[in-house]
Every structure is written in structure tokens, then in C-alpha cells.
Amino acid sequence: MSETSNKYTFGMIGLGTMGRNLLLNMADHGFAVAGFDKNPAQVALLEKEGHGKPVKAFTSAHDFVQSLQTPRSIIMLVPAGKIVDSVIKEMTPLLDKGDILIDGGNSHFTDTTRRVTELEAKGLHFFGMGISGGEEGARKGPSMMPGGDKQAYSQMKPVFDAIAAKVDGEPCVTYIGPGAAGHFVKMVHNGIEYGLMQLIAETYELLKNGLKFDNDAIHKVFEKWDEGRLQSFLIDITKDIFAFKAPGTDHLLVDDIKDEARAKGTGKWTSQVAMDLETPITTIDTAVAMRDLSKYKQLREKAATLYSTEETQLDNDNTDTIVAELEKAFFFSMIITYSQGMHLLQKASKDFQYNLNLDEIAKIWRGGCIIRSLFLNDIFNAYQKDPSLQHLLLDGKVKELIAEALPGARSIVSKATAAGIAMPAYASSLSYFDAFRSKRMPSNLIQAQRDYFGAHTYELIGKEGVFHTQWLAENEEDLIHNT
């Protein structure tokens, strides 16, 4: 196949780890594909790994575009932000009306909304598509969340269905919704990912410092959990981490890694938009905050010398019971984390008119993606049974699961707090649940305070209207009046 034969069915801009592996995945499924990257080393690597496959790589944007069948279908896998706009600016003059351009990176959904409008005006089909699964997922089958131009998605559907991860024979990809729906759902996926990772890190903290487990014992805990109801990708890889020794060493690599967690921003974006939509996701917020706190290592080291306390550990004579409680506590907190994410999706679906099908989202998350887990089957069943379910915690089956796991969550949070072991995501999950199930929260006092210092008014139980009180008024008739 020559470079100008116009027989490549799909193009990829950006031949880094994700782009290159996704392109090879397509080639494995019989699609003739072309890739473009300005870095000759990336081009050479694709040519090498794609040897014998229907793959061609280019360093020339013009030659790359001309090699594709028309109407052209191109996906960008480049870093989010200004680079995406730069690539679009470079490619647009080379494209024709009717061509399809897809942003497969982790772009902020507001940027995607803007780009949809801009490219529609130029006659180009554009949509944002969240892709989850990392390097292995891209190569062997990711979970994909395309949203935006439905006509363009329909044209790309055979390719996406072929390369996606499969669960029960069904591809882990579906049309998410209009506009930036695909990138919004991927952002929330990553927020849930933050929450689950923080819970696992806190579990490690309790096992290591609370129960004084060595790495082998910690490995066995995660190995056992991965065989039960906690089965998930993140538990699985954690099990592997606690068995991996760097070549030439006699200890685990994890013990050499600095305790400063990095982030690319999607967790923060999830928290920010949740606050804009007035939808609490406290476990995810806590996870974002703990990553930020981890970066202040020098301050933490200074504080450790100032506030050093006598070390307290949990009852090592009762480790089996504590580990059993910890399994329940993790399961409880995991449910809360997913529930918060699904609630945010429901609120965004209404406010942004995304028309999200939460059952379909849970369905495609069951394979390929980072947050895939056995529990997603329960989420899928809950929303398929009741598409209008207002909150996952209101589902009957989930209620039963919560009731069984709740005592373990209460016990672990209590014991960890008494021992001085930080488990903020666990504690936040428990507090969220207790507030969520509260028929009457203490927020009436907050409203009274707001009215007292700022005349912000309040509403009364069983009485229509909005009221304001002169809290320091001398005459009774001046105390309360309807505004």
C-alpha cells in the first residue's frame, strides 16, 4: 500500500503510548490505519511494532491526511489543553467538509463544548471521546465514551465496537450523549478512580502501620479480596504491586517510591464541577485533597517532629476480625464512591441536557477501564431496573449491601481514629452516608446564622414565604417579618 493510495480507513494524530497502541489494536482487527507524529522516533517505533500489519506512519501532516479515505476519520491523542487547539488549527486547513475529527484525550469538557461549535461552523464533524484502560487497554481493548456528533459516531461505530473491551460478548463502548457528554463522563470516571485509589492507599496504611503487616501479608489480603466481591482492576494491580521487586533488589519497589502523589487534573475538575452543580462528592473531594497534601512532604516532615506522639497500633491479637471488618468497610466506602459519581452524572445529565443512560455507562465500565469492578454489575442492574433512580443508595439491592457492610465501616473508622491513623476517605464516606440518611440535618442553624449576620433570609417549616429576623430587635413585633 503506497502512501498516497487513499486506502487507510482511519488516522491517528499522536503516536505516544496510547495512540500507538490504539492504532495497533485497530490493525489487529483488520483496519488499515495511518499515524502521524512530528517525532521521527515515534514514527519509527510504530513502523517497527506494526511490521506486517496494515499500518503506515508519517511525519508530514499533509501526506498523512492525503493517505486517508474520504470522508476522513481521524482521532487525536495528544495532551489536553492548548496542544489540542494547536493540532486542530494545523489540521483544519488540510481537511474537507464532512471529515470526522475526534479528541480522544482527557480534555476538559468545557473545551470540548467550545470546539464542537467551532468545528461545526467549518463543516467538520467533531466529538470528544473518553478512553480508559491505559496502555494495556489501548492495545487489547479499552472502555470508550464517545459523545457529541451522533452521525459521526454512527460512522465510527464498527471500528469502536471491534477494538473495545468485551464483557459477555458485548463491546464496552456506547454513544454517551450530545456535546461534551463523552468527556464529562470520562472526567467523572477519573474522579471515581481518585476515590477508589485513596481508599486502597488508606487500607494499606492501616494494614502496615495499624496491624504491622509485612508486605507479604498485605499482598495476601489484596489477593484474597480480588477473589471475592471486591474484585476489580485496582485491587488486582495492588496485589501485584505488593509482590514486585525491582531487578537486582531484595525488597519491593513500592517501598522505594516517594510518598508524593501526582495528578493531571481530572479529579480536581470533577470536584470543581460538582461544587458548581451543588452535588456533594465528598469521598472524591477528599481523595483530591489528600493528593495535594502529599505534595507538601517537607512540611509534613517538620510537623512529624513537632507533633510526634506515642505510636498506637490496633489489637494485633484480633487481626482476623479487623481484616474482616476492613473488607466490609472498603466495600461500603467503594459503594459510596460510585454512588457519588453516578449522582453527579445524573445531575449533569439534567443540567447540561446530556440525556445520559446511566445503566449503559455502568455497563461499558465493566471492562477495559481503570474502575472496572464486580460491583458495576449491581450498578448496571439498579439503573436498568429503574432508569429514573434518583440516587444509587435508594436501590433495594444496594440498601441490602450497605446494611451488611455498614458495621465494619463504623468499627474501622472508630479504631483508626483512636489509633491516630489517617483514613479520611473512609471517614468521609461514612459521614456522607450518615448525612444522606438524615431526615433532618442541622442546616437550620446555618440558615439562622446566615440570616443573623447577613440578612440572607430563611424558610419556615409548614409556612409559605421567605422570612428575615431582626435578631437583636427590642420589640417583639419587629422580630420576624415576611420578605
Q: Is residue 137 part of a domain?
A: yes
Same domain, 362 and 313: yes
d(CA 195, CA 424): 11
Q: Is residue 397 part of a domain?
A: yes
99: CATH: 3.40.50.720
Same domain, 201 and 117: no
Q: Count the alpha carbons within 13 Å of 87 in the hemisphere toward its beta carbon.
A: 24
Phi, psi of 53 (to 5 degrees): -110, 165
Q: Is residue 463 part of a domain?
A: yes
Picking from 179, 209, 231, the residue at the C-terminal end of a domain is 179
- Which of 251-260, 305-314, 399-408 is the least confident region? 305-314
> Residue 3 above 70 pLDDT?
no
- Our answer to whether residue 47 is catalytic in this structure is no
Residue 214's pLDDT is what?
Answer: 95
User: Is 148 in contact with 114 (CB distance < 8 Å)?
Assistant: no
Order the strands of the 55-58 sheet from edge to edge: 55-58, 33-36, 10-13, 73-76, 100-103, 125-132, 143-148
- Our answer to whether residue 350 is catalytic in this structure is no
Question: Hey, which residues does 173 pair with through a beta bridge?
Answer: 144
Residue 216's pLDDT is what?
Answer: 96
Confidence of residue 319 (pLDDT cuts 50, 70, 90): very high
d(CA 14, CA 32): 17
Same domain, 202 and 340: yes
Same domain, 449 and 415: no
Residue 205's pLDDT is what?
Answer: 95
Over residues 419-445, the pLDDT tens digits come to 999 999 999 999 999 999 999 999 999
Catalytic residue chosen out of the listed positions 193, 202, 325, 327: 193
Residue 336's pLDDT is what?
Answer: 98
**Total domains present in the chain:** 3
d(CA 108, CA 92): 21
Catalytic residue chosen out of the listed positions 186, 239, 363, 415: 186
Same domain, 402 and 447: no
Same domain, 21 and 166: yes
Same domain, 243 and 113: no
Q: Which residues contact 93 (CB under 8 A, 6 or more apart)?
A: none
Average pLDDT over all residues of the chain: 92
Q: Is residue 338 part of a domain?
A: yes
Same domain, 86 and 196: no
Same domain, 43 and 126: yes
Picking from 122, 151, 179, the residue at the C-terminal end of a domain is 179
Same domain, 336 and 240: yes
> Residue 34 above 70 pLDDT?
yes
Q: Is residue 4 part of a domain?
A: no
Q: Is residue 5 part of a domain?
A: no
> Residue 130 above 80 pLDDT?
yes
Say which residue the cell 429503574 belongs to: 386
Residue 4's pLDDT is what?
Answer: 42
* Structural domain boundaries enclosing 66: 10-179
- Which of 3-7, 67-71, 237-241, 258-262 is the least confident region? 3-7
Q: Is residue 458 part of a domain?
A: yes
402: CATH: 1.10.1040.10
Neighbours of 73 (CB within 10 A): 21
Picking from 154, 179, 204, the residue at the C-terminal end of a domain is 179
Confidence of residue 7 (pLDDT cuts 50, 70, 90): confident
Top-confidence residue, 224 or 117: 224
Q: Is residue 259 part of a domain?
A: yes
Top-confidence residue, 393 or 257: 393
User: Is 191 in contact with 271 (CB distance < 8 Å)?
Assistant: yes
User: Is 219 in contact with 239 (CB distance < 8 Å)?
Assistant: yes
Same domain, 79 and 162: yes
Phi, psi of 246 (to 5 degrees): -65, 145
461: CATH: 1.20.5.320
Q: Which residues contact 74 (CB under 8 A, 6 or more apart)?
A: 10, 11, 12, 13, 65, 68, 91, 95, 99, 100, 101, 102
Q: Which residues contact 421 (CB under 8 A, 6 or more apart)?
A: 205, 206, 209, 210
Same domain, 72 and 100: yes
